[in-house]
Amino acid sequence: MKKSILIVVILFCQNVFCQSFTFDRFIEYQDNSGETSIFMINSKNESYYFFGGGFTNEITGSVFDLKDKVRHSYSVANIKNALKFEYLNSSIETENKVPCYDKYNVIEVTKTPIDSLTTNFTVLKFKNSKKRKIIQSSNIKAIKSVIPVFSLIMKPFFGHFIYCQKIDLPENYIPTSVEIDYFNRIKTKNELIQNKEVNVLLSLNKKDIKLRN
């Protein structure tokens, strides 16, 4: 996507049967294969967020409603440097049942300040508590942010790096570069290409929402 991208939203309804989500921050990353990851958040309401991804003309994403544990899915079209959201369906968010592959691994985070705004985070995954063998690693460069988004943004990037362990990351940062080495000849790198204020409203007619399990 181009950095001059605009956001266009079609309002589906304007009555008491509507459920609305507003967003004031748009954050976009691109990886070394050209795939895009986009986040939209409401800096005043942490009970929901939008996350989507794909290539320029094939983007899909969802509003994750953390309060009601519901996921509203959308297709996202890039039309004349603008994004158009089309509602697809909604589903109940169930607990992730992926096996905890890394429960015996040890994960260590090292924080290294670069300057007054930028910090480098090194995340090492060791085979076991002896810490003799590193099996995966990640290097994250991040800048200070007034919006607590660090762990939210890192969640999808860490999808195949940290399965079920929890690590402590200070929330008042936003990643500008995320590099992960899986030690199997696969390395990924995501770089921040947009971080800007927006005024986005996605509205759904509750009568049209049919939840899928």
Which pLDDT value is given to residue 19?
83
In this prediction, the residues of the chain whose per-residue pLDDT falls under 70 are 1-17, 80-81, 96, 206-213
Which pLDDT value is given to residue 15?
47
Which pLDDT value is given to residue 105?
96
Which pLDDT value is given to residue 42?
97
Cα→Cα distances 186→157, 183, 189, 203, Å: 14, 7, 10, 40
Which pLDDT value is given to residue 45?
96
Which pLDDT value is given to residue 40?
97
91-113 residue pLDDT tens: 998 876 778 889 899 999 999 99
